[in-house]
Amino acid sequence: MNPRVLLGIVSIILAFVSSATTQTQPQAPAGVGNITRAGRAYVSGENPGIRLLDKQDGATLTQVSFWRVHWSPVGTGHVCYVTVGEDKSPGELRIGLYDNQKLFDYLTKEMLGTFNKAFIDRPFVPVGGATFGFVGDATHERREFCRSDRYSVELIWRNLQTPYLIDILAGSRPPNPFGLTYLRIPAANAEVIINGKPAPGKAFLGQAGPSAFLAFGETWLK
């Protein structure tokens, strides 16, 4: 057979197969697969937390909220809120370490303090000029270091569990008006070490949720 004729036949067959395959592929409904969440973005980054309790589902003895902000209207940076003990109790500590004062003020006054009045009524002692860094991974163990001229705070998450996605719609949990989405990685064990001394309490996975976890890709909306 003439090679040109053979090539033409093959081209026709391939075109027919391609057309048939295209026609049998399921087509996604219009608008499905890309969702734009309504609302204004306030902040995006990492926000791991640690609550050390006296017993499972018990009282909180030590609490830390750490922020590594990749985007906000006042820039990037770090903030580490640390609370040990109750107000005016022996050994009480309540500090906020940061490397961007505008970010510290923004998180405290325009976000967290709008629904958690303890940020205003029991303010954190500001500790500026802090430096931050981490070692480890998100599979086994992670350590965050927060240091100033007076404080050295080390946060440790160990025995990391299976990740899952948290997605909360804005206005769905009064009095907190914010919505947020992030990847949560629970930690079965955690520590907070302040100036070389372990802070009181222990982390638990708990039936109501983990008291210590990593949080990646956390974005707040309203």
Domains in the chain, please, with CATH?
A: 38-221 (2.40.370)
Phi/psi of residue 166, nearest 5 degrees: -105, 130
Helical segments of 25-142, H only? 101-105, 118-121
pLDDT at 29: 53
pLDDT at residue 99 in the model: 98
Q: From residue 25, give the alpha-carbon distance in Å to each of 16, 18, 22, 65, 160.
A: 15, 11, 5, 48, 40
Residue 92, CA distances (Å) to 24, 61, 66, 83, 124 in order: 67, 10, 19, 8, 12
Give exposure, 49-77, as e/b (b: 16+ Cβ within 10 Å): bbbbbeeeeeeebbbbbbbbbeebebeeb
* CA-closest candidate to residue 64, choices 220, 217, 199, 162: 199
Per-residue pLDDT of the chain (222 residues; tens, 9 = 90+): 544 444 344 344 344 434 443 334 344 455 556 778 888 999 999 999 999 999 999 999 999 999 999 999 999 999 999 999 988 788 899 999 999 999 999 999 999 999 999 999 999 999 999 999 999 999 999 999 999 999 999 999 999 999 999 999 999 999 999 999 999 999 999 999 999 999 999 999 988 899 999 999 999 999
At 21 the pLDDT is 38
Distance separating alpha carbons of residues 106 and 110, to the nearest angstrom = 5
